[in-house]
Every structure is written in C-alpha cells, then in structure tokens.
Amino acid sequence: MQGIRNNLVVEINDVSKSFGGLVALSDISLDIKQGEICGLIGPNGAGKTTLFNILTGIYSPDSGVFKINGQECQNLKPHLVVKAGLARTFQNIRLFGNMTGLENVMVGQHVRTKVGVVGAIFRHRYARQEERQIEEKSRALMVYVGLDPDTNQLSNTLSYGDQRRLEIARALATDPVVIALDEPAAGMNATETGELRDLLMRIRKDGVTILLIEHDVKLVMGLCDKVAVLDYGVKIAEGKPNAIKQNKDVIRAYLGGSLS
C-alpha cells in the first residue's frame, strides 16, 4: 500500500497501443481517486474497450505505465492484475454458464484463497474452514446485489438483469479496490437501470472505486464524480459531468463538427 500517492488507486501515464497501422490509444493519462466513480465515454471505436483490455492485462501497452493500488501492472498477466485489486465485468456477459449463481461467485474468491490439491482431497480443518468462508461470503454477496443464493438455477438460465448483477457479485468476490464495469446498463430497461444505479452507489459507499464505461449518458452524468472522454484514441476531455456536457470538443465528437 505504500505506493499509493494522494489516494490514487488508478494511475495511468501516457499509455499507447496500436494494432498494426491503427493507433487505438495514444498517450492516455488518467488518475482515479479512492472512492470515486469515474465514467469513460466516447463514440464507438474511440478506444474505451482497448483501454479496458490493457488495464485488465489482456493486452500489454506499447508504451506507458499504469498502477493499480500503487502496484505497476502494465506487464502483468490478467490474474495478477486481479490480485493487485482490479476486477472487471464484460460488455457481453461472460458468466460460467453451467455453474449455479452461487458457484460463479465462489469462483471469484479463487484469487484470495489458497487450498490446493492436498487440502481438496483430505479436507483438513483449514480447508473445511476456508470452504465454509468462501460459501458464506458468496451468499452474502449475492444478497448484496439482490439475488437469491438458494436458487439452484444454472447461471445461463437467469434473466438478463440478474446475469448482469451476478457478474458484479462475482467481480466483488475478488475483493477489488477498483471494479471496472464494461457497459453494465447495456440492454437494460429504465427500472433495471435504476436498480443498477442504486447498486453502484452502494458499492461506492462501501469503499470500492468504480471505473464505468457506459453509453447511457444519463446514467453516466447522474452517477459519476468525474468523466473522461475518448475519441479516436485520444483523451479529448476530463472533468465534472456538468463541465463535460458543455465541452465543445465532446459535442463535436458526438454530434459531428458541422453542428457545433
């Protein structure tokens, strides 16, 4: 923890990435404070998901550095980024379909637990205790996001909104410092979006920082403490939601130059 300056749990410095000739991200810098909800918006193809994939260790950046919770992560494998404290959800839901909801959340605690083959086979006291803790915590997390831990339903049979919520519970199970949500409101109706909004407020209140990619501008503007806007791989604006709404560059990026 000694590496954290000024409560910054995410520090991105001059991260660039290109695929062949296409520059997907150029010199992106962004800091997120502990307990903030930071929105990341931009038109399709602006590089939001690329930045996400870099932060979560799926791609490594061509240049630049980023720190999660004070730890340099630009060259780490995805599972080590999770260990450092960044958990994520996916734009197109990626649950473990043939596992129950509870089992999905239990998998999320893999990185914070350690019983191996010997413990699994002999079930000594420590292994039993850890297993019980995993289950209790998973149940609590399911209740926390508003799901019933006792349904034996396989996760691929859950409703769309429940699947989204389960993904968030699974991500929270990794004990993250920052949780990165990739379009969590996509495909949701107004009621579900409202519930999601309440859930995100609760998560923030409980001390987890949120990085949010979202197309629903109303949700982003109402929820975020800070918004960063990407366009063609460049950060064109960063600031409070109200300031972003007035920003000329942002309006041009979204609506096209001729209108502004």
Partner 1 sequence: MKELLTDHKISSLKTYFTSYRHAVWIGYVMIAVALIVLPFLVESTIGRTWVRILDFALIYGMLALGLNIVVGFAGLLDLGYIAFYAVGAYTWALLASPQFGLHLPFWVIIPIGFVVAGFFGVLLGAPTLRLRGDYLAIVTLGFGEIIRIFLNNLDHPVNVTNGPVGINLIDPISIGSVDFTKTQEIFGLIFSGAHIYYYVLLLLLLVSILVCIRLENSRLGRAWVAIREDEIAAQAMGINTRNVKLLAFAMGASFGGIAGGLFASFQGFVSPESFILLESIMVLCMVVLGGMGNVWGVVLGTFILAILPEVLRDISSPLQENILGKVWLDPESLRMVLFGLALIVVMLVRPTGLWPSKKNN
Residue recorded with tokens 């909104």? 161
Alpha-carbon distance 217 to 253, whole Å? 14
Q: Which stretch binds partner 1 (CB under 8 A): 10-18, 22-30, 88-96, 251-259?
A: 88-96
Give the number of other CB atoms < 10 A from CB of residue 54.
26
Q: Shortest gap between Cβ of 40 and partner 1 (angstroms)? A: 18
Number of residues this chain uses to bind partner 1 (CB under 8 A): 45
The binder of partner 1 chosen from 78, 187, 222, 256 (CB under 8 A):
78
Instruction: Give how far the C-alpha of residue 61 lies from the chain's centroid of Cα atoms, to the nearest Å.
Output: 18
Burial of 197 (0-12, 13-18, 19+ CB in 10 A): middle
Task: Convert residues 113-142 into a mask of x (bound to partner 1 by CB under 8 A) and - (unbound).
Answer: x-xxx-xxx-x---x--xx--x--------
The tokens for 108 are: 């999320």
Q: What's the sign of the alpha-carbon dihedral 150, 152, 156, 160?
A: negative
Query: Is residue 99 involved in binding partner 1 (CB under 8 A)?
Result: yes
Q: Which stretch binds partner 1 (CB under 8 A): 17-25, 31-39, 87-95, 246-254?
A: 87-95
Q: Shortest gap between Cβ of 220 and partner 1 (angstroms)? A: 23
Is-contact 59 50, C-beta < 8 A?
A: yes
Q: Which stretch binds partner 1 (CB under 8 A): 14-22, 39-47, 146-154, 206-214?
A: 146-154
Q: Which stretch binds partner 1 (CB under 8 A): 5-13, 42-50, 105-113, 183-191?
A: 105-113
The tokens for 213 are: 């990619």
Is-contact 170 193, C-beta < 8 A?
A: no
Q: Shortest gap between Cβ of 170 and partner 1 (angstroms)? A: 7
- 190 Cβ contact partners less than 8 Å away, ≥ 6 residues apart: none
Q: Shortest gap between Cβ of 52 and partner 1 (angstroms)? A: 11
- 44 Cβ contact partners less than 8 Å away, ≥ 6 residues apart: none
The binder of partner 1 chosen from 74, 174, 193, 209 (CB under 8 A):
174
Question: Smaller CB distance to partner 1: residue 23 or 99?
Answer: 99
Q: Which stretch binds partner 1 (CB under 8 A): 39-47, 109-117, 192-200, 221-229?
A: 109-117
The binder of partner 1 chosen from 13, 23, 27, 83 (CB under 8 A):
83
Q: Shortest gap between Cβ of 200 and partner 1 (angstroms)? A: 19
Alpha-carbon distance 101 to 139, whole Å? 10
Q: Is 24 left (phi over 0), alpha (psi -120 to 50) or beta?
A: alpha
Closest CA to 174 of 242, 111, 102: 111
**Which residues form the interface with partner 1 (CB under 8 A)?**
56-58, 77-79, 82-83, 87-88, 90, 94-99, 103, 106-113, 115-117, 119-121, 123, 127, 130-131, 134, 152-154, 157, 170-171, 173-174
